Amino acid sequence: MPRTTTVQPELAIIVPVLNEAAVLTELMVHLTHWHQRGAEVVIVDGGSTDQTVAMARERGFNVITAPAGRANQMNAGAHASHAERLLFLHADTRLPDNADHVLARIFSSTGPAWGRFDVVIEGRSKMLPVIATLMNWRSRFSGIATGDQALFMSRELFKQTGGFPEQPLMEDIEMSKRLKQLCRPVCLRHKVITSGRRWDTRGSWPTILLMWQLRWAYWRGIPAQQLAERYR
């Protein structure tokens, strides 16, 4: 069970969840590690109908509720947390062991900052290493980060942007655009590991094609609400 502490945390890890009971045991082990290293962990449930909330609370984690949708949940987690450095972690993504030290160096040397990690995608498809490489390259070139890459930012920048836009899709892209207007991202080569379950279950090429179609449509101004129906 996570230990309680009265020391002001430097880093808040905010995890939006929805019906994640199947992967929650592994996630709890990962988050316990970070709590023991002094991070503030806030789990934000979007209305789970399985045992997600009960399991997390049983392990002693701070669980709050918010309207469904990653943007809503991440904003709620940020407002409920106390640390000045925020990291938004997907339930199926795992941080490198030295992530807190890496972020401490960045924020100590640059002041208000934001960025993301490189990503490794785990799964059965032989295409996943290629997909991850392209994601990292595209992000480094464009300055646009995805949620799978574990977005981090100072609370100051989070407030200046007004938080994540309350939309059902592409909230990470829109947030990156807002943050880019304030400063360039820090694109870390340290790697997070994320699940390739979407590519494994739906097929690599169909998923790649869908992702590019959605991004192209969003760039052309198609509302995120309309695109979310195609993403499900």
pLDDT of 228: 60
| pLDDT at 85 (0 to 100) | 96
Q: With pLDDT > 90 as the criterion, what percentage of the chain qualifies?
A: 72
Q: For 71, list phi and psi in degrees, rounded to 5.
A: -60, -50
- 111: confidence class by pLDDT, cuts 50, 70, 90: confident
Identify which has the larger pLDDT, 217 or 154. Answer: 154
Q: What is the pLDDT of residue 117?
A: 98
Q: What is the pLDDT of residue 72?
A: 96
Angle, in degrees to the nearest 10, between helices 171-180 and 70-80: 50
pLDDT at position 57, please?
A: 95
User: How much is the pLDDT for 56?
Assistant: 95
- DSSP one-letter code for 148: G
Give the pLDDT band of residue 120 (cuts 50, 70, 90): very high
State the DSSP string of 161-226: HTSS-S-SS-HHHHHHHHHHTT---EEEEEEEEEE-HHHHHH-HHHHHHHHHHHHHHHHTT--HHH
Q: Which architecture, in CATH terms, is 11-195?
A: Alpha-Beta Complex (3.90)
Q: How far apart are CA 24 and CA 151, in angstroms?
A: 21
The per-residue pLDDT of the chain, averaged, comes to 89
Residue 197, pLDDT score: 79
| pLDDT at residue 92 tops 80 | yes
Q: Are 199 and 124 in contact (CB under 8 A)?
A: no
Reported as a single tens digit per residue, the pLDDT across 175-205 is: 999 999 999 999 999 999 999 877 777 776 6
Q: Are 122 and 193 in contact (CB under 8 A)?
A: yes
Give the model's confidence band at 36: pLDDT under 50 very low, under 70 low, under 90 confident, else very high.
very high
Report residue 57 as tokens.
């609370």
| Residue 33 CA to its chain's centroid (Å) | 18
| pLDDT the model gives residue 84 | 95
Task: Map out the domains of the chain as residue ranges.
Answer: 11-195
What band does 2 get if pLDDT is binned at 50, 70 and 90? Answer: low
Of the two residues 218 and 105, the one the predictor is more confident about is 105
Q: Supply the pTM of this predicted model.
A: 0.89
Residue type, 154: S
pLDDT over threshold 80, residue 217: no
Sheet containing 62-65: which strands, arranged edge to edge?
Answer: 62-65, 40-45, 11-17, 85-88, 152-154, 114-122, 186-195, 93-94
